[in-house]
Chains A and B, each alone.
Chain A
Amino acid sequence: MRGRLGVIVLCHGRLTRAAALVRHFARAGVRVAVHVDAAVPEDHAGPVIAALAALEGVVLVPRHACSWGGWSIVAATEAAARVLLGRFPDVGHVLLCSGACLPLRPVAEIAAHFAALPDTDHIETHPLGATRWTKGGLEAERFTLRFPFAFRGQRRLFDAAVAVQRRLGLARRLPEGIAPHLGAQWWCLTRATLAGILDDPEGARLRRYFRGVWIPDEAYFQTLVHRHAREILPRSPTFARFDASGRPHVFHDDQADLLAATGALLARKIWPGAEGLYERFLGDPGPAPPADGRLDALLAAADLRRAEGRAGLAAPGRFADRSGRAPTARPYGVFCGLDAEARRAAAAAGLVLHGHLFDPAGAAFAGGGMTGPGALPAAPFWRDYAPADFLRNLIWAGREGTQAFLLRAADTGAIGPILARDANARGLVVLRGLPGEEALCAALRAPEARHAIALIEARAFDADPARHIGAALAALGPEPAGGGAR
């Protein structure tokens, strides 16, 4: 039977957008079951519920209090599904949405999409262990540990309970007849599959088990669908992504075109204030553009920035003292004891070569100004106040090219150890028995040194300067050339 589309809308928080979504579905002839979290205050929920209940084809579900990561969300979904299937015998597919979902295509098109495959369930479902689906945190242990404490609100107890169970090797036994699967919460199931899950003869036993599974809304239907489905398209109809900390990415007006090009039928989570998105997609979204991966790429880049940041940057949001990574943005050259040769070589190789940056009288920037890259002052006070910041700023500001600078061994008191710890420090120190060389060598040869500056005796250098300079320049390439001290 080619039935109508039915939609379950799970609502919590601000209800205005959820109500608009319900109206949008109802207007298009879709059957809707609405569940409003019991935690939404009555003075807000009451009027919205009353207005929705009066709509043709909309039914309200008795309210459960839903807590994140707990069974209550599944219980509410099952309750809504029962009401929807019981009340509307013409429903063929049931789509699960939240109040923060937004259809990206006209409802008629969405309904036709599902109706065209009357026996197909659209649900993301990955067998455990195939690929890692979850972002950090627990995966297989969601099914085998017990979770007496809330992840949000009782985090320390939650973590302690997990640690204790691991230590003691405690594990729940999986019930017979299921193979654990995980997937996104938002699906579209056929009436037959959904009814099969609701009325499963083993249902009571399975529900008892899944009550104890962590985040069952990503496991219960995704696992049980395999007991009842005829055909599974293992992909969620809804574009929803989580960031590395497991929080949903939220979409805004400026992402309208990117959302349209995801190829998905719906998207979540939409910012309630995204007037432009609601206007466009609840109005006329226009023809579907060819699907591309731009939004996924954008989200991945954002996650990467949050996780790894930009190398060599110190900023109000990034103080990477515990990163274990080089403090500077890219490799740079340090030349000590070969001023004339370095100048010639740098000019030939197209490097930006600064003069004696750590001259006690002031920094000699390339170009010789009172200020250098990033507007660093040439005056010595600021440089000597925070030499590591001075160097980091210099390399960051000039990171489009390759920079190098001259050093006098006598000037290296403060900067020697800083260079030594930086894996991006490359170049050449020629030992000519000048004052300060001993301290510089000690710093560069310290056990914690990570630089790649070559140290060479004057005799060896003078025998074949071109070879040594060539090697030092080659080490300035964009790829890190190992980290050990020479």
Chain B
Amino acid sequence: MSFATPLFTRLRLRLRRERLLARARRAYRGLSPLADRTGTIAPDAVVLCATIRNEAARLGHFLAHHRRIGIGHFLIIDNASDDGSAEALMAEPDVSVWSTRASYRRAGFGMDWVNGLLHAHARGRWVLTVDADEAFVHPHADTRPIGALTDWLEGQGLRAFGAMLIDLYPRGPVEGAVCPPGADPLTVAPWFDPGNYTIRRNATHGNLWIQGGVRARVFFADAPARAPALNKIPLVRWGRGMVYASSTHMLLPRGLNSVYDRAGGEFASGALLHSKFIAGLAGKAAEELRRREHHAASREYRAYAAGLAAGVDLWCPQSVRYEGWRQLEALGLMSAGNWA
């Protein structure tokens, strides 16, 4: 932390961190283990942490993708699924599952559970925290596993790795993009916006604030300030005293948020392919509106519900079809930095 920061701000951040740590400890006690296989995790394995609810259709691909990039173990919090998600996860040998029926919103939108779980099971490890509709992509992902990246980060003396959320969508109505259970949603929704992103820097927390993409373009065109944040720091070497402070958008202590260069150079960074816009979203949006468990009184889901009911086509002539990490790097959405 910079010494230029006012003492008051530093104290405030410290207090916030302590409060979040206390919440995490309490939240962890509220999780009941359904399958705790953490004793089987290899010493140098990179683990993944996710909170899910009714994701049975997505889990097959979610696990397969992240196994393929080299994730060694999954730590999953199941928030009251009733579609068999928890049972399916419990049957997987490299997954540990905890369950809670508590309120997602009151658990800091799930982050208290995540923080608690990471402190209990991931200290000293590299951990990737993502959602079930996200797929992590790192530089050289086609030839090198995530362990090569974390070893390199370690060698560089880095403890955190940034990634940008790339919202994918189909061409044509969203409800027409039917993804069979277990299939890769990229096959039905491969398009994304290549270059309409705003980037600001949060001076208090030191993280970047990125907005844009299809959600901003279509659903928040008249209210840009409310467009969802696309900046994430999903990959962290977890250690004592760390907490995710707001989703995976920022961490405390805030030095962990310095995953970018300010002097003109490029830090290595990754991407999270976000396959939200596939058939089924309309039903999900309606349900989330009923539950009111998401951010900003589910304003986002209201926008989706309205747009999807109208059969809106998210595609535009500048939309780009996803091809791979080198394409994202060429577009400037991620970077291999100096990881040659």
Chain A bound to chain B: yes
Residues of B within 8 A of A322 (CB): 262-264
Residues of A within 8 A of B339 (CB): 302
> A382 vs B198: C-alpha distance in the bound complex, in angstroms?
9
Measured CB to CB, the closest approach of chain A to B159, in angstroms, equals 14
Q: Contact check, B195 vs A373: say whether CB atoms are below 8 A apart.
A: yes
Q: Contact check, B265 vs A377: say whether CB atoms are below 8 A apart.
A: no
Check: B109 CB closer than 8 A to any chain A CB: no
Chain B, residue nearest A44 (CB): B43
> A254 vs B224: C-alpha distance in the bound complex, in angstroms?
42
Q: Contact check, A375 vs B194: say whether CB atoms are below 8 A apart.
A: yes
Q: Contact check, B144 vs A253: say whether CB atoms are below 8 A apart.
A: yes
Q: Are A374 and B337 CB-contacts (below 8 A) given A252-B144, A253-B143, A325-B264? A: no
Q: Contact check, A323 vs B263: say whether CB atoms are below 8 A apart.
A: yes
> A272 vs B318: C-alpha distance in the bound complex, in angstroms?
42
Which residues from 279 to 331 on chain A have a C-beta closer than 8 Å to any C-beta of chain B?
298-299, 301-303, 305-310, 313-325
Count A-B contacts at CB 8 Å: 186
Check: B307 CB closer than 8 A to any chain A CB: no
Q: Contact check, B336 vs A389: say whether CB atoms are below 8 A apart.
A: no
Check: A248 CB closer than 8 A to any chain B CB: yes
Give which listed residue, A272, A313, A379, A393, contacts B221 with CB less than 8 A. Answer: A379
Give the one of B195, B196, B340 with max A CB within 10 A. Answer: B340
Q: Contact check, B265 vs A319: say whether CB atoms are below 8 A apart.
A: no
Chain B, residue nearest A14 (CB): B44
Per DSSP, chain B at the interface is: loop
Residues of A within 8 A of B148 (CB): 250, 252, 271, 273-274
Residues of A within 8 A of B224 (CB): 381-382, 385-386
Which residues from 332 to 361 on chain A have a C-beta closer than 8 Å to any C-beta of chain B?
none
Check: A376 CB closer than 8 A to any chain B CB: yes
Give the one of A255, A305, A309, A318 with max B CB within 10 A. Answer: A318
Residues of A within 8 A of B316 (CB): 369-371, 375
| Mask: chain B, 315-333; 1 = CB below 8 Å from A; 0 = not | 0111100000000000011
Check: B334 CB closer than 8 A to any chain A CB: yes
Chain A, residue nearest B155 (CB): A247
- Segment at the A interface, from B23-31, B50-58, B116-124, B266-274: B266-274
Q: Contact check, B210 vs A323: say whether CB atoms are below 8 A apart.
A: no
Q: Are A271 and B263 CB-contacts (below 8 A) given A243-B338, A374-B196, A375-B318? A: no
Check: A226 CB closer than 8 A to any chain B CB: no
Check: A397 CB closer than 8 A to any chain B CB: yes
Measured CB to CB, the closest approach of chain A to B334, in angstroms, equals 7
The 5 closest A-B pairs by CB, nearest first: A374-B195, A323-B264, A306-B338, A317-B267, A302-B340
B-contacting residues of A (Cβ < 8 Å)? Answer: 152, 243-245, 247-250, 252-255, 271-274, 298-299, 301-303, 305-310, 313-325, 369-377, 379, 381-382, 385-386, 389, 393, 396-397
A-contacting residues of B (Cβ < 8 Å)? Answer: 140, 143-145, 147-148, 151-152, 155-157, 162-164, 193-201, 208, 210, 214, 216-217, 221-225, 231, 259-269, 316-319, 332-340
